[in-house]
Amino acid sequence: MNDRTCIVTRETRQPDQLIRFVADPDGMVVPDLKRKLPGRGCWVGAEKALVEKAAAKNLFARSLKAPVKVPPELAEMVESLLASGALGALGLARKAGAVALGAAKVEAGVRSGKVMAVLHAREASEDGVRKIANARKSIVHVGGPVVPAYKLFSEAELGLALGATNVIHAAVLDRGPGEAALRRIEALALYRGIAPDWKVSSAADAAEDME
């Protein structure tokens, strides 16, 4: 798909960095996250602040060339859809064996080099997060991958999606369903403006942390 232009910033971006919007039969602006809805569409950078600005100024009417209506909760609607999509993808990855649960399994997975991303519940303790962060640093020190960590969901949200209780730490493994889930997680993080915790950007940094 060709690059598109954000109606707010007028910047050209790749489609994965944008959200498509269309007008439904009643003239209401709706998000088209799968980019499959019929009709004329317009694009907004995939960030909540940009969607809020587009809604506040009703930039959709000009781009869609129609007197459309914008729901006041449009930005929250998009966020809810992105969160549901990410959690749903995590659930599918879990059923396919592409998600590890529990601090011990997450730490072991990181050290094995098979983890693409770590998830911490918002309720996670600093001690638990630190132990897994140390594993993430150590694997980079020996030439392994840099593993990002995200804190996007509550314990209850993770538990419901993954079919378990007391889900504080989870890891997305490097398998097909895990890759699909990670793309959804990255999209939600971008939209919320929450950068992942990389901690270590190079092996040299990791070595310094371990000295």
Q: What mean pLDDT is predicted for residues 2-7? A: 86
Within the chain, residue ranges assigned H as helices are 48-56, 59-64, 74-95, 103-112, 126-141, 155-162, 176-192, 203-210
pLDDT in tens, 17-48: 999 999 999 999 999 999 999 999 999 999 99
Residues 87 and 116: their CA atoms lie apart, in Å, by: 16
Residue that has been written with the tokens 């959709």 in this structure: 60
Q: Tens digits of per-residue pLDDT, 130-167?
A: 999 999 999 998 888 899 999 999 999 999 999 999 99
The per-residue pLDDT for 198 is 80
Is 70 exceeded by the pLDDT of residue 204?
no
Task: Confirm if 172 and 70 have CB atoms less than 8 A apart.
Answer: no
**What's residue 145's pLDDT?**
85
Residue 1: pLDDT over 90: no
The pLDDT assigned to 2 comes to 65
Query: What would the two tokens of residue 41 be?
Result: 């569409």
Per-residue model confidence as pLDDT tens digits over 51-106: 999 999 999 999 999 899 999 999 999 999 999 999 999 999 999 999 999 999 99
With a CB cutoff of 8 Å and minimum separation 6, the contacts of 156 are none
CA distance 204 to 187: 29
The domains of the chain, with CATH numbers, are: 4-72 (3.30.1230.10), 81-210 (3.30.1330.30)
Answer whether 119's CB lies under 8 Å from 169's CB. Answer: yes
Q: What's the pLDDT tens digit per position in 158-194?
A: 999 999 999 999 999 987 899 999 999 999 999 999 9
Instruction: List the Cα angle 168/171/173 in 5-degree steps.
Output: 160
Q: What confidence score (pLDDT) does residue 199 get?
A: 63
